[in-house]
Structure 1
Amino acid sequence: MRMRENTTMNLSAGVASVTVAAVLVGLKLWALGETHALSVAASLADSAMDLMVSLGALAAIAYAARPADEDHTYGHTSAEDLAALAQSVFILVSAGVIAWAAVARLLAEAPEPLLNQSRGMVVMAISVALTLGLVLWQRHVARRTGSRVVKADSLHYLGDLLPNIGALLSLWASAALGLNQIDSVVALGAGAMLAVGALRIFKGAWDALMDRSAPEEVVTGVQAVIDGFPGVQGFHDLKTRTAGSKLFVTVHVELDGKKTLNETHAIAAALRRAILYAYPDSDVMIHQDPVGVTPHPEDPSRR
């Protein structure tokens, strides 16, 4: 029952994220047409990225609620990483176009004037308010459910407040002080932030698709759970990887060889539950070895 409630809350956060992102994309498209402000264009690109990331997060939450099928016994979470690679390329291209246009305006003898700044400021103020409301709801859901996907999406939107506020300030500076060049400077800064975020997304997705081990703090956390666990006298061959939002853990634990199969199974099962408690969205496989056992000389892994 609790799991169903958590899934419902996580889905509500995902739907809210997608809805807000879609509304912001529509509003900023209109504001860009009205103002011709590059800072608004940068904020629009950021919101478009948000929409794609939020759709990926919503898909991840929905997939997490589905059991694995016969064709995909490890689930479908790698699709998130493939989508993230495409997203990062799109974001990098967008950041490059915005930066190029910003530099061109800065170097132009007669920069293009901004129009209808007041309308643009209204849109950006609405964007800030909607983003703040979404972040508050996501944090509430993350506290209740412990969802790492919702928590990550919340942090992402919190960082998006800066481009929105920057665009708002640049429009105000243009309207009140006649400083049109600030728009290009803000656009350059926002483009740099977009590029850094895109490279971070690309690296994370690439590492996951290449079966890179989980982040060091996750590996250390898993080791801490195993080390000193009642009945476990040692462990080796700890392997981790991630696929989308899912963590995979495989480990060999060393147990007293004099214990019965039922006893060693009970220890391994309890250890698996402990790891799942620490990392709920994970797949854990534990192999049991007697203490002091050495690999067989004909073991293919030794060749």
Structure 2
Amino acid sequence: MSSGDHNRLNISAGLASVAVAATLVGLKLWALGLTSSLSVAASLADNALDLMMSLGGLLAIIYAARPADEDHAFGHTSVEDLAALAQSIFIAVSGMVIAWAAAARLLGLAESRIAAQDKGIAVMGVSVLLTLCLVLWQRQVARRTGSRVVAADSLHYLSDLLPTLGAIGALWASRRFGLAHVDSVVALASAAILLSGAIRIGKGAWDALMDRTADPELVEAIAAIARAWPGVRGFHDLKTRMAGSRVFVHIHIELDGDQSLREAHAIGAGLRRRIIETYPQCDVIVHKDVARET
């Protein structure tokens, strides 16, 4: 498959993600107006986040094909971290607002009344079907193109099914048994999920913006490749940092000082190529030093 085909498939998955997220936001806004259900509100907040993340993912896919320029020698991927940090703040605020409203209803400080449960259940059921269709398409695209952005977006949508199913259960319990407080309990659980996700996303974005080193397992795997590469007598100063979906790798390899420049270059280029083939998200710079005599 050509790189053009890869890009077209990835962009199609990104567009589908944005379209589904926008549709779900519209449907759940309507359902929230009908039902006044906090669990629906929690699911709506989650889908609003999905829409933001899907738009960010689509932009990331489009920008991924752009080369670095004079003003951004290492590319533009740090914008993903800035967007993720902003998203984490939005998620945290949404989770706290929903948790506060749910607690107020449970404590009797606010009215707990749910209406039009049947219509609400129908809307949430449609959202489950749309989400499942999107996840299936995204996974097919991710298998064919290897896009980590599409794969991550697919995993995120799959995890969003839990709040939606919880909202369906709360609406059903309210209609069947008159248990309006179940809605607030489900909303509290959904708020906890939102806050947990905000902390996880925010920490990852903050670590990347602060040039935190990459996952230790990835660093060790790169070290193992360098250690076993033919012609490399040793290496040092293996440094990594993250920027969005990219991992920047700098490594100094030690070579035989008596070999030709052409031979030394071939060893360094081969090692760089192998690391990138194994970990496509990496941007690798290999420095060549003369091995110390033992």
Q: TM-score range by the shorter chain?
A: over 0.9
Contact 2:238 2:250 in 1 (8 A): yes
**Residue 297 of structure 1 corresponds to which residue in structure 2?**
none
Secondary structure of the structure 1 residue equivalent to 2:249? strand
1:83-232 aligned at under 5 Å gives the runs: 83-108=83-108, 111-232=111-232
- Give the counterpart letter for 1:15 in structure 2: L
Matched residues in 1 for 2:224 and 2:28: separation?
47
Cα deviation 1:201-221 (Å, max 9, x = unaligned) = 100000000000111222122
Unaligned residue ranges in structure 1 (runs of 5+): 295-303
- Give the counterpart letter for 1:60 in structure 2: A
Cα deviation 1:164-197 (Å, max 9, x = unaligned) = 1000111111111111111000000000000000
- Give the counterpart letter for 2:125 in structure 1: A
What's the CA shift for 1:287?
Answer: 0.1
TM-score (normalised: structure 1): 0.94
Matched residues in 2 for 1:16 and 1:110: separation?
39
- Give the counterpart letter for 1:46 in structure 2: D
**Residue 74 of structure 1 corresponds to which residue in structure 2?**
74
Matched residues in 2 for 1:102 and 1:77: separation?
38
* Corresponding pairs, count: 294
**Residue 292 of structure 1 corresponds to which residue in structure 2?**
292
**Residue 266 of structure 2 corresponds to which residue in structure 1?**
266
Matched residues in 1 for 2:65 and 2:145: separation?
13
Q: For structure 1, which segment, 212-221 or 162-171, has the greater mean C-alpha deviation from structure 2 after superposition?
A: 212-221
What's the CA shift for 1:132?
Answer: 0.8
- Give the counterpart letter for 1:50 in structure 2: D
TM-score (normalised: structure 2): 0.97
What's the CA shift for 1:249?
Answer: 0.6
Secondary structure of the structure 1 residue equivalent to 2:252? strand
**Residue 48 of structure 2 corresponds to which residue in structure 1?**
48
- Give the counterpart letter for 2:142 in structure 1: A
Cα deviation 1:132-182 (Å, max 9, x = unaligned) = 111111111111111111111111111101001000111111111111111
Matched residues in 2 for 1:197 and 1:262: separation?
50
Matched residues in 2 for 1:154 and 1:260: separation?
49
Matched residues in 1 for 2:224 and 2:40: separation?
47
Contact 2:112 2:181 in 1 (8 A): no
Matched residues in 1 for 2:232 and 2:70: separation?
33
Contact 2:104 2:110 in 1 (8 A): no
- Give the counterpart letter for 2:284 in structure 1: V
Matched residues in 2 for 1:12 and 1:56: separation?
14
Contact 2:25 2:47 in 1 (8 A): yes
Cα deviation 1:96-120 (Å, max 9, x = unaligned) = 0000000000011784210101111
What's the CA shift for 1:244?
Answer: 0.7
Contact 2:39 2:187 in 1 (8 A): yes
**Residue 275 of structure 1 corresponds to which residue in structure 2?**
275
What's the CA shift for 1:282?
Answer: 2.3
